[in-house]
Amino acid sequence: MNDGKENLVELEALSKRVADAIIEHDNIRLISHNDADGLSAAGIMCNALYRRGILFHTTIVSQFEQSTIELIEKTSQGAVILFDMGSGQVEMSSRLKEAIIIDHHKPTGESKHVHFNPHLVGIDGSSELCASCGAYMVARQMGDNTDLAGLALVGATGDKQAMKGANKFILDEAIEKKAVTVKKGLRMGDEPVEEILECSIDPFLDITGDTEKIRVFIEETGLKGSIKDFTEEQLIRFTSLIALKLAKQGSISAIDSLIGDVLVLNNEVVSNIFDFVNILNACGNVEKAGLGLAVCMRDVSAVKEALETTRENQRTLIKTIKKAQEETKSARNLRYVLLDDISGTGAIAGTMTRYIYTDKPFVTLNEVEDKIKVSARGTRKLVALGLDLASAMREAAASVGGMGGGHDVASGATIPKGTARQFIDILDSIVGKQLQGKS
């Protein structure tokens, strides 16, 4: 974030302008993305609006597309806030009469609407400030909302952002306000080891989801129970065993993020930040966004169902990942898989590129009714070599009559049915040019 201070002053000024625009209204429509970042962004604003007595109606969507515009036009009379979308689709968002955009994707044009985006003040939104952190920066200008800082960091963790730059500013404020406590440990959930190994995709191991292999692992190691109750010796041993498995499958970069700062959320109804991320991703995947938002609104009665939903969704996701692994195809510069009406395609692509195939970007193409929804994921190492999935997906999608965009390391698209082969050929060529001569 350059020297940091100048950008932060500009960021706060931008936050104030957006907050002032929001509080002019007494009724607001919220539209947000269905992942952990989008849901926590919406959750922060729901809390902030509720506290100010401003009426709101929230809808969570998987992608910002034509149907989203139609939904807004049918159901909204006044202002609409778009979270985690809108900056990269200026042509579409400009069709809305009165919109406020809170996004962190790189803007692709000049927006006519009130617009919060870290890129506008020289901050890299793909790595240093996500949508939920943007929502928090705005919410803290709308009243005494610093207790929501932990929720902002849920989105940053879900988007795998580092706690640096503007994110570090929010983390420091969260610690100061006692919204968050930081401790060293394993960057995993608080469930018993056997549940983590059975249901978690982060990390994704050779024994993940296989109850017999997990039983043997626990019998041989004697490591069972909740990780948070492990002795230091048990923690070191468990970490070493997981790191060894990751090394054997080539997931070297994942080892570095296995141990480190773990954020404890002191104000939220789920205290482990990784459990919170998993809940929001799961609720978004299975179209139970209301349940995820209830957890963000600190409804204790929603936690049990949210955790059950998460475990069930993760089990389904693991089966899909293993099936996708069997059906993965290789192009020259990327790998891809064709799926049929499956949820959680972003998580599938992310798991593939983080834990299974780390050398190339991974693309999932998911046929849903009359269109194909595409998710692509890379690694920071590939980005350093020239990969920019946002521009690659945008160009490839447009060339087959679709739309795409996102971040350099993670991006999405919607393309017409029947164009998958052509799309992959074009995308493969674009990615090849990006990486040519730099690897």
Within this chain, do residues 25 and 62 fall inside the same structural domain, yes or no?
A: yes
Q: Which domain holds residue 292?
A: 185-311
Q: What is the structure's pLDDT at 152? A: 98
Spatial separation of the C-alpha atoms in residues 110 and 89, rounded to whole Å: 10
Within this chain, do residues 19 and 157 fall inside the same structural domain, yes or no?
A: yes
Spatial separation of the C-alpha atoms in residues 9 and 181, rounded to whole Å: 26
Give 360-392 pLDDT, tens digit per residue: 999 999 999 889 999 999 998 999 999 999 999
Q: What is the structure's pLDDT at 432? A: 97
Bridge-based pairing of strands 79-83 and 99-102 is parallel
Residue 439 lies in a domain: no
Which of 174-178, 336-340, 403-407 comes out lowest in average pLDDT?
Answer: 403-407
pTM exceeding 0.75: yes
Other C-beta atoms within 10 Å of 259: how many? 17
Mean pLDDT, rounded, for 280-306: 97
Within this chain, do residues 288 and 157 fall inside the same structural domain, yes or no?
A: no
Within this chain, do residues 40 and 142 fall inside the same structural domain, yes or no?
A: yes
* Residue 204 binned pLDDT confidence (cut-offs 50, 70, 90): very high
H/E run at residue 108 = none
Asked whether the predicted pLDDT for residue 89 surpasses 90, the reply is no
Within this chain, do residues 27 and 139 fall inside the same structural domain, yes or no?
A: yes
Asked whether the predicted pLDDT for residue 434 surpasses 90, the reply is yes
Within this chain, do residues 271 and 340 fall inside the same structural domain, yes or no?
A: no
Q: Where does a domain end: 150, 176, 202?
A: 176
Spatial separation of the C-alpha atoms in residues 96 and 112, rounded to whole Å: 10
Q: What is the total residue count of the chain?
A: 439
Residue 316 lies in a domain: no
- Contact, 64 vs 37, CB < 8 A? no
Q: What is the structure's pLDDT at 265? A: 98
Q: Find residue 32's DSSP bridge partners.
A: 60, 83
* Residue 4 binned pLDDT confidence (cut-offs 50, 70, 90): low
CATH of the domain at 340: 3.10.310.40
> Is the C-alpha dihedral spanning 193, 308, 376, 372 positive or negative?
positive
H/E run at residue 205 = none
For the chain, how many structural domains are there in total? Answer: 3
Residue 321 lies in a domain: no
Residue 228 Rama label (left phi>0; alpha psi -120 to 50; beta): alpha
DSSP secondary structure letter of residue 123:
-
